[in-house]
Structure formats: structure tokens, C-alpha cells
Structure 1
Amino acid sequence: MVGKPQHITIAFDVMGSDHGPAEVVRGAAQLSLESPHIHALLVGDRPVIDEALAGIKHNGERISVHHAGDYVGMDEKPGEALARKPESSVAVAARLVAEGEAHALVSAGNTGAGVLACKRHFQLIPGVRRAALATVYPTRGVRGAKQDPFSLILDVGATVEATAEDLVAFAVMGSAYARIISRNERPKVALLSNGVEPQKGPPRVVEAHQRLSQMPGLNFTGNVEGIDIPRGTADVIVTDGFVGNVCLKMLEGVHDTVMELAQYAYKESLRWRAGLAMLSSGIERLKDITDWEQYGGAPILGFDRIFIKAHGRSRARAIANAGKVAAKAVANELGTAIQEGLAK
């Protein structure tokens, strides 16, 4: 494990996002002005990065550039692309983190390529067989000691088929992440199933339930159903990557649908506009808690190094926030916390 550093260097994969290199550079530039303890290492096409930096305000002492002339596009197959492009920006950035040139990686590019690059260059934490892609999602509100309106679900795509052992590891990793990032000292952890009874679900879920129930130090509350996800019944919900990815896409679709309906209603009639004006504070609240830009990105958990996967559509604010989340995970030694949880 890397010791706790005073100054944290975050490697940014500059080239892969939907909005192009300039938006990632703007996010790193914003970070350089806001966070004196974070250094941004921009990995990508140096002339392109230099041109983008020349036009925006930034702190040059907190930004450096490492040239990588190629990148993996969003529509490319990860394995094939990385084989053809070993010097792509995400691969180079992951290698720099593994070599100790940076403490963590942030990318808004191809998710599969990012996960595969980490698998090739990082090591799994002892006790972890497979990594998990986690994501935060909005819930109805703050509960207890929890200081933000988000909860965590994992896995959402890194491990499609998970064993009972994998689900137990996911639970420990998710709990550690929630404690550190959400400042929730005792996060509620639950398994996603088709019923709340311990015997409900496929054999791997039933076995994981039995094992988690016996783990000291883990606030395991049992099974939850899909309806409980937006209710915030649990702070960490554990499932396999196939089910988790379906849930994630559903949550994103609900948010988009609600926003589209509100816009349609506003355009339709004066009566609807008046009603929406009365509900404006509630609508703004909905926008706040479903705004993925404020929490930056999703962590890949299980490796000995930190990787935060920002949304492909991330603008500068989301990129900067992803850098802050990565730095927070490094500063609070997330990997060590996961390893200690698994040891128990």
C-alpha cells in the first residue's frame, strides 16, 4: 500500500471524454486553483493539452503534462483497443499510477478500457478476487450520521457474475468507501434480492447473506428489494455486475424522464407553469440530488490503487470533483481500510 502523502498527485486521462480534452483540462485547471494539496498530472497529447491550458486560468505549479499520443474511443472494444494502442492515454496514466508517479487515476473515457488498464497495471488487494465498479445514486434524503443524500451500489458492471465470496468482498469495500467518502461512520449494508427474507434469492445471495450476518464490524441489515433503492433503505447495496448495471441504467432513465416531463408540462399550458412554479424548490432539490456532476464519478474498488471513473459527459466541475474524491480516498487510505475490513 502507498503511505499517506502530504501532497497528492492525480493522473487525469485527458483524451477519452465525450466533450474532448479541453473539458478535462478545464476541470484540472479548476482543481489547481481550488485544492493546494492536489497536483494534476495531465496524460494525453501534449500539444493539445498545452493549447487548452494556454487559454484558461490555472496554477502552473500544480499541473504537469505527460505525453501520450493515442487514446481509446468510447465506441472501441477495450481489449482490442488497448492491444493496438499500448501508449493510449488511459494505459499510460494507469502505468504512471502503478509506478508511483501518481497516487490515483481519473478518467472520463471508455469504462471498459479504464477497468482493463487497471487490471493490467494494478494489483488486487489481498482477499479480493474481483474488482467492483461502484456508483452513487440519489435517495430521499439524509439519514442519521450520513452527511449527503447519496447511497452506493456495487457492482454495476466490472464483475458480471459474482460468487458469494465476491459479494462479501463487495460489501466490505462498499462499507469502507461510504465511511471515508460519505463520512458515514456506520453505513447500512444490504444485499439486493427478490425478497427481504434471508432465504430469498439465488444460492450465491443466500450464502452471502449467511456470511455477512456473521461478520463483526459490518453493519449488515439483510436483503432489500429494488423498490428500496431510491428510498435510501441502505447506504450500500451489494449485487453482481449484471443486475447492478440494469439498476443503474434504470435510475438514470427515471431521472431523465422526470426532467423531460417537467419541461413538457412547462411548455404545455399556463396552468402547468403556475403549478411548476409553486413546486420550483422541490424540483431544484430533485436536480441537486440527481446531479452526478457534484459527486464526480464512480470508484473501481478492489485494487491497490485508486481509480475514479467520471461520467463520459463530465464537464469541468465534475472532473474537478472526481479529482477531489480520488484525493480524499488516497488521503484516508481507502485500500488499507478495505484490507483491514476483509481481514476481520
Structure 2
Amino acid sequence: MNIALDVMGGDHGPAEIIAGAIEAARAYKNVTISLVGKPEVIQAELARQNATGLNLPIVPASEVIEMGEKPAAAVRAKPDSSMVVASRLVRNGTAQAFVTAGNTGGALAAGILQIGRMRGILRPALISPFPTHRGFCVVLDIGANADVRPEHLQQFAVMGSLYARHILGIVNPSVRILSNGEEAGKGNHLVVEAFRLLEQTPGINFQGNVESKEIMEGLTDVVVTDGFTGNIFVKTAEATAKLLQQVMIEELTAGPISSVGAFLAQAALRRVRRRVDDSEYGGAVLLGLSGLVVVAHGRSKANAIRHAIRVAKQGIEQDILAKIQREVSRQMAEGTDLAGSESMDMFNQTSTLKKETA
């Protein structure tokens, strides 16, 4: 198993990215982690971190797609960038997955232009686990597509159900649409029309709408939404969790008596921190491409990168992309209109890339 890692992406690359690769290489002995980036930079960092005897080959890439660049334009203008080179490794079969903490739009553009989409998939979607009171659910899309149509949410539901079943181990995952009310008919035009489509979609356990507060309670296993709404929801939840942790620490250390209580509760506080720490989840999988792409937070440090590599490893082991492709192909063969016309399919690819360059 070979996983291509974009060493040059992210707020803390390359030092933290390489540190995460070293941790993963020590944890997963059967995984080759190809470090894609500027060789002289990678070699110096490997020497500094004393990474000897690990399966960390270097794949040269002389260019970097920066966070502020327009994604599709940068992918085309920088064919030797770490993102494009890593994507090509997946396309030609040298690697089975590509992991990056860099520009999300760049990862999407590189994925579409270099790896290509699955047959029948209109839009790739970013899916990520989300902690709830009962465990975890998955949310998609969390940032790949700001504007979508009802049929896109229909495909997200199919892909999300398969991901929850095979990666989270949920036998019959429930699916709901993020809305401003539980009742059928609540929501904007997109939600109302998607509700109608999902009611008619075979192979998924659709149970209607879900409000954001009910996601936290664990009411559903799969949440589908557009990338604009999903991104805001996830980032707001992450910020709220961090705020609560900070307030708890401040209050528990505010005086001598509470400080004693904090000392006694250290183990419990560590468990709480771990349950809501997004670095433990690794990254979001870009579902709908012909190859596996995992996008970690731009702020990812070593622990998050190690877990992003774990997510990629798990996806490869479960052969999740092949399972999604089989299900989409089966439903298309049975006449379920999941993909629309071929001309509309091509329009969506172009439209996606244009939006990402805006």
C-alpha cells in the first residue's frame, strides 16, 4: 500500500507534515508513505527529525500551490506542484491514495483534472466524521461544492450511506437532510426538492430532515447538505467545542478549591478533550473521484496528519471507492436517475472548477 503525502501543503508544512508521516510510518509498518515535495527540504527535515529506517521515499515536486491561489488555474499553471504530482501517482496506480493539508479547492481541482470522477458521479463531496452524544455520524458536503442541486444531494446520500456502512460499521445507516425544521416541507427550495428525491431513492434509509441541534444528539448517521452550509456547520461546531474547553480550564483553575478539583478530574478532562479533538479524525475524504483523496485541516499538525494517513489506509483496506462505484452503477442500470444526462454531467464538472477559481 502506497499513500502519497503532499509535504508542502498546510499552515505548518513541511515540518509538522513530515512529523506526522514519521508517526504514521512507525505505526503502520505495511504502508509506504511517499513524501511529495521539494527533495532538499524533505531530506533536511527527515535528517533533523532523525527518521532513519522508515518507509518514506521522496517524490520530487518543484512547485507549490499556495493557500491563496485560485485552485483550477494553479493546478493548470503548476504541473510540477506537489498536489498535481501526488494526484498523478494515484492516477497511474503508483499510489492508492493522496493526502494533503493544503488548499482544499486545489485538492478538488487536482482530483478532478488529474484523477477524474467516477462514472455517473456529478460532484465529488467532502465527507467527515462528526462527534455526537451517541458516537459519530458523517456529514457531507463540508466544503467541496458551495452551490448544489437536489440531484447532487441525492448522490451525496448514496455515497454517505455506503461510507457509514463500510467505514463506520453501521449496518443500516439513517440519512437526513440538514434543514431548519424536522417537518417535511421545511427548508429552502433545495432541501424541499432533495427531500422528494431521497424519498424515492432505493438503497438508503432516508428519515427526513434534521436540525443542527439534533445532529449533536446523534439522531442520524448521515447528514447531507450543500458544501457552503456544511462547512459553516462543522467550523462553528469545532469553534464552540474549543470555546467550551477554554472556559472549563479557566473556571477550573480560577481558585485554589476548583484547582484541586481540576487536578482530580485530569483523566476525565483528557478524555473529553480527545472526544472533541478534530485532529483525531484526520481529514475529510473527497468521495466521488476515481482515486482516494483525503483533505486534512490546513492547521493540521503531526497528530492530525498521522490520522489523515490512517483514514486513507482504512479507505483503501475497505475498498470504499469500488463499493460506491458498484452501487452507483447498479442503480443507474436499474433506472434510478442518479446522474442525469451526459451533457449535464460535463457541465457540472466545468461549473465546479469555475466556482472554485472564483
Provide the TM-score with structure 1 as the length reference: 0.89
1:154 and 1:174 in contact (8 A); partners too = yes
2:158 and 2:203 in contact (8 A); partners too = no
Match of 1:27 in 2: 20
In structure 2, C-alpha distance between the alignment counterparts of 1:117 and 1:328, rounded to whole Å: 22
Deviation at 1:303, TM superposition (A): 0.5
In structure 2, C-alpha distance between the alignment counterparts of 1:29 and 1:57, rounded to whole Å: 10
Match of 1:3 in 2: none
Match of 1:94 among 87, 98, 102: 87
In structure 2, C-alpha distance between the alignment counterparts of 1:25 and 1:113, rounded to whole Å: 20
In structure 2, C-alpha distance between the alignment counterparts of 1:231 and 1:308, rounded to whole Å: 27
Match of 2:291 in 1: 305
The one-letter amino acid paired with 2:222 is: V
Deviation at 1:199, TM superposition (A): 1.8
1:79 aligns with 2:72: yes
Identify which range, 188-197 or 299-308, moves more after superposition.
188-197
Match of 2:4 among 1, 5, 11: 11
2:150 and 2:193 in contact (8 A); partners too = yes
Superimposed CA distance per residue, residues 3-35 of structure 1 (whole angstroms, 9 cap, x where no aligned partner): xxxxx1100000012112122122222222221
Deviation at 1:123, TM superposition (A): 1.8
1:32 and 1:58 in contact (8 A); partners too = no
> What percent identity do the matched residue pairs reach?
39
SS in structure 2 of the partner of residue 207 of structure 1? helix
Written as runs of structure 1 = structure 2, the 5 A alignment for 1:113-152 is 113-141=106-134, 149-152=135-138
The one-letter amino acid paired with 1:87 is: D
Identify which range, 334-343 or 251-260, moves more after superposition.
334-343
Match of 2:36 among 38, 43, 46: 43
1:166 aligns with 2:159: no
Deviation at 1:59, TM superposition (A): 6.2
Deviation at 1:245, TM superposition (A): 1.3
SS in structure 2 of the partner of residue 335 of structure 1? helix
Deviation at 1:256, TM superposition (A): 1.8
SS in structure 1 of the partner of residue 217 of structure 2? coil
Structure 1 runs, 4 residues or longer, greater than 6 Å off = none
1:220 aligns with 2:219: no
Match of 1:328 in 2: 314
1:199 aligns with 2:192: no
Identify which range, 163-172 or 83-92, moves more after superposition.
83-92
2:180 and 2:186 in contact (8 A); partners too = yes
Match of 1:237 in 2: 223
SS in structure 1 of the partner of residue 57 of structure 2? strand
SS in structure 1 of the partner of residue 216 of structure 2? coil
SS in structure 2 of the partner of residue 230 of structure 1? helix
The one-letter amino acid paired with 1:329 is: G
In structure 2, C-alpha distance between the alignment counterparts of 1:177 and 1:61, rounded to whole Å: 31
SS in structure 1 of the partner of residue 35 of structure 2? strand
1:32 and 1:59 in contact (8 A); partners too = no
In structure 1, C-alpha distance between the alignment counterparts of 2:254 and 2:83, rounded to whole Å: 46
The one-letter amino acid paired with 2:225 is: T
Match of 1:268 in 2: 254
1:33 and 1:59 in contact (8 A); partners too = no
In structure 2, C-alpha distance between the alignment counterparts of 1:41 and 1:318, rounded to whole Å: 17
Provide closer, same or farther for how the CA distance between residues 317 and 253 of structure 1 changes in structure 2, counting only shifts above 3 A. closer
In structure 2, C-alpha distance between the alignment counterparts of 1:162 and 1:176, rounded to whole Å: 21
2:26 and 2:54 in contact (8 A); partners too = no
Structure 2: segments with no counterpart, 5+ residues:
332-358
In structure 1, C-alpha distance between the alignment counterparts of 2:271 and 2:218, rounded to whole Å: 16
SS in structure 2 of the partner of residue 63 of structure 1? coil
Provide the TM-score with structure 2 as the length reference: 0.86
2:104 and 2:144 in contact (8 A); partners too = no
In structure 1, C-alpha distance between the alignment counterparts of 2:241 and 2:76, rounded to whole Å: 37
Match of 1:183 in 2: 169
2:253 and 2:262 in contact (8 A); partners too = no
1:29 and 1:59 in contact (8 A); partners too = no
The one-letter amino acid paired with 2:185 is: Q
Deviation at 1:83, TM superposition (A): 4.0
In structure 1, C-alpha distance between the alignment counterparts of 2:30 and 2:205, rounded to whole Å: 33
In structure 1, C-alpha distance between the alignment counterparts of 2:25 and 2:264, rounded to whole Å: 40
Match of 2:338 in 1: none
Superimposed CA distance per residue, residues 228-281 of structure 1 (whole angstroms, 9 cap, x where no aligned partner): 121111111000111111101211210121122123213432344345456545
In structure 1, C-alpha distance between the alignment counterparts of 2:304 and 2:93, rounded to whole Å: 25
The one-letter amino acid paired with 1:194 is: N
In structure 2, C-alpha distance between the alignment counterparts of 1:125 and 1:83, rounded to whole Å: 21
